[in-house]
Amino acid sequence: MILFQPNLEETDVVEATVSTVDTSISIFLWIAIIELLIILFLIWKLAKAANGSQRSDAIKQNLKNAKDSKVNMGDLMDSINGARDLYKELSRKCHPDLFINTDKQLIAQDLFQEISKNKRDYKKLTELKERAVLDLKVNFK
């Protein structure tokens, strides 16, 4: 009593179907893995952009605060352009070696130290120039 005896042709079709299903499953598995990697990469980029936008928000806030502050541009430009020349002139005219063995030597030393400390501050250098004229009797032309 033989109930069922498959033909060779039927087994070939079944095996071909199973191998096709296995191949298609492995292809879909690789596609899913690649899609997962792309999604993870995009999430990482979004997180990085969110941190960057926080930094850019802080930079924008700092710029806004700087614009709101009262900066005198005239003084700033004088400091940038004139401080170096004024410092050179003051350091030459008020150098303590010019006042050796005089009663003005200590005043010149203190004044020279102040000039050296404030060599980029135009406003302070102009005050020191007036002080040099009064205390040391230095003639600036």
Domains of the chain by residue range: 8-69, 73-135
Q: What is the mean pLDDT of the chain?
A: 81
Res. 118: pLDDT tops 70: yes
What pLDDT was estimated at residue 116? 94
What pLDDT was estimated at residue 115? 94
pLDDT class for 12, splitting at 50, 70, 90?
Answer: low
Q: Which residue has the higher pLDDT, 119 or 66?
A: 119
Res. 76: pLDDT tops 90: no
Q: Comparing C-alpha atoms, which of 50, 57, 132, 43 is closest to residue 87?
A: 132
What pLDDT was estimated at residue 42? 94
Res. 93: pLDDT tops 70: yes
Residue 131 CB neighbour total at 10 angstroms: 18
Contacts of 86 (CB under 8 A, 6+ apart): 122, 125, 126, 129
Place of tokens 């050296």: 116
Please state, in angstroms and rounded to a whole number, the distance separating the CA atoms of residues 101 and 82.
32
Instruction: Write down the pTM of the prediction.
Output: 0.47
| DSSP count for the chain of H helices, then E strands | 4, 0
Q: Between vectors from CA 105 to CA 102 and to CA 108, what angle results, nearest 5°?
A: 140
What pLDDT was estimated at residue 111? 95
pLDDT class for 94, splitting at 50, 70, 90?
Answer: very high
Q: Which residue has the higher pLDDT, 134 or 50?
A: 134
Q: Comparing C-alpha atoms, which of 124, 90, 121, 83 is closest to residue 108?
A: 90
Res. 13: pLDDT tops 60: no
For the CA atoms of 51, 57, 58, 60, the dihedral, rounded to the nearest 10 degrees, stands at: 150
Asked if residues 108 and 96 have their Cβ atoms less than 8 Å apart, the reply is yes
